[in-house]
Amino acid sequence: MLDMGAPEASFGSRGPRGEVLLAIETSAQQVFARTALETGLIAESPKKRKVLAAVFAALGGLRSERLEQAHLVLAARYPDYRPESLMRALQERRTLVRTWGVRGELQILPTSQLGLFLAASAISAPRWRRFLDARSNLATPARLRLLKRLCPETISRDALRDAFPDPTTRLFMLREAAQAGLIVWKDGDGAQSTFAWTQSWLGREIEPERDLTELVGRYLTSFGPLGAPDLAAWLGVTVAAARTLMAKHRVEEVHVEGEETPTFMKPEDLESLIQTRKSLARGYVVVPAGDPILSAYRFRYQRPEGEESDQGLVFLDGRPVAAWTLDQDRIDVRELDGLQHPKARKAVLQVVHRAGITAAQVESGS
């Protein structure tokens, strides 16, 4: 028997011939609880917390030009998080890799799924190639051979400076090699990042996948119900292309309380939505800015002020009650419901400190 917090099924959707279909209606809290559970933000018990690689897989990779962002996302998921655990996974165990993935952005991905994510990287690859083709008389294979000759071991932008003075050309050459599965991140951050040849770093070659079906299916499982515009924004494709990709999974419409735009889930995920207990998200749950649980949706958690790119949220019992920003060592917390939430401030501070930003403090009066 379902508990009172489970969503109720109701009639209301219509098929292509006008026939009435069974639709699912659910609360925003139910959706948050399930998505938070799928992406490791909450857990049914401490022993059931996802391991690092599983979290990054569920997140669809983590876009982060700076490692600080990754530390914040993980600190929100692990009460005992230490930044060195991520670095060990990247540099010693190598169960995670950092490379240019979806939308051509630097991401942290599970090593076992690197080829899968490179399929999404290929969507933006033609833009890099057109740029490089216009500035070089070398074709892609020749450019890759030149990169190998210039950087036989460690690859960096500085190592290419003499051969390619233009910084954008250097960056796009690295992206082209990464999309082909030939190089992955090794050390450093931002423009100082260095890269290694995949064969040497992982002990094997990685062949990029060509089909997006599995990757889209995983994303739908983690973040459904979502709309075609949400998937399009994540992948960097048109809304029409996103609808086609979603249709391959025979998605069904789900009505989320308070939302006007249609959203969809895979049929096999509907049962887990129904069975997810809203009580799992009870209390304060901190979500950093840029966390995939926020950026996965164009409207669900975005504020009308247009601050969504640099603000995190704090949820109370599945509802957003505070927004917060981090500027160097300054944390600003702003209530959204007109009430005071001192525990929200404390929870944010704990997450930021776990991420290794120990000098940060909540601004008095914020």
198-234 pLDDT per residue, tens: 999 999 989 898 899 999 999 999 999 999 999 999 9
Instruction: Examine the pLDDT at 73 and tell me if it is beyond 90.
Output: yes
Highest mean pLDDT among 71-80, 161-170, 256-265: 71-80
Mean residue pLDDT of the chain comes to 88
- pLDDT(304) > 80: no
pLDDT greater at residue 20 or residue 147: 147
Q: Which two tokens stand for residue 95?
A: 């169960």
Mean pLDDT value across residues 65-69:
91
Strand, helix or coil at 31?
helix
pLDDT of 10 over the 60 cut? no
Whether the pLDDT of residue 308 is over 70: the answer is no
Question: Shortest CA distance to 194 belongs to which of 150, 158, 140?
Answer: 158
pLDDT exceeds 50 at position 2: no
Name which residue leads in pLDDT, 19 or 160. Answer: 160
Q: Where are the alpha helices (DSSP H) in the chain?
A: 28-38, 52-58, 67-75, 83-91, 114-121, 125-135, 140-150, 167-179, 198-202, 213-223, 228-235, 239-247, 267-275, 292-295, 342-354
Give the pair of three-digit tokens for residue 284. 């304060």
pTM: 0.89
**Out of 3-12, 20-29, 251-260, least confident range:** 3-12
pLDDT score at 188? 92
